Amino acid sequence: KQEVTQIPAALSVPEGENLVLNCSFTDSAIYNLQWFRQDPGKGLTSLLLIQSSQREQTSGRLNASLDKSSGRSTLYIAASQPGDSATYLCAVRPQPLVVKLTFGQGTILTVHP
């Protein structure tokens, strides 16, 4: 059974810092891994999706890496801003024809001015 763990559970940083969020999964047989952002009272917004054959994806100040063999992914946020404050979730999908995502519990990020 796939288990996804995110560390840390919460993170508070001053504006401008570069930061790393970690995600680990127990079964390396994944199809893809996705990072989501969740704002209070809102649904999930997809940030980055990495296919199992890829090692990283970038979007603006965000960079996600994937090391499938070791069961790890990291989300790097450069030059953090107060607007980045949210909960960040990673989720893995096992196979192309199996779309059930297994989520981690999330990292609550607070960026203070």
Partner 1 sequence: EAGVAQSPRYKIIEKRQSVAFWCNPISGHATLYWYQQILGQGPKLLIQFQNNGVVDDSQLPKDRFSAERLKGVDSTLKIQPAKLEDSAVYLCASSSGRMARGYTFGSGTRLTVV
Q: Closest separation between CB of residue 52 and partner 1, Å?
A: 12
- Cβ-based nearer residue to partner 1, 41 or 60: 41
Judged by beta carbon, residue 61 or residue 100, the one nearer partner 1 is: 100
DSSP 51-105: ETT-SEEEETTEEEEEETTTTEEEEEE-S--GGG-EEEEEEEE-BTTB---EE--
- Count of residues making up the chain: 113
Closest listed residue to residue 35, CA positions, set 71, 66, 14: 66
Tell me how far, at minimum, the Cβ of 14 lies from partner 1, in Å: 25
Kindly list the residues in this chain that would bind partner 1 in the complex (CB under 8 A).
Answer: 4, 32, 34, 36, 41-46, 49, 51, 89, 91, 96-97, 99-101, 103-106
- Minimum CB separation of residue 34 from partner 1 in Å reads 7
Cα separation, 25 vs 74, whole angstroms: 12
Of the pair 36, 66, the CB lying nearest partner 1 is at 36
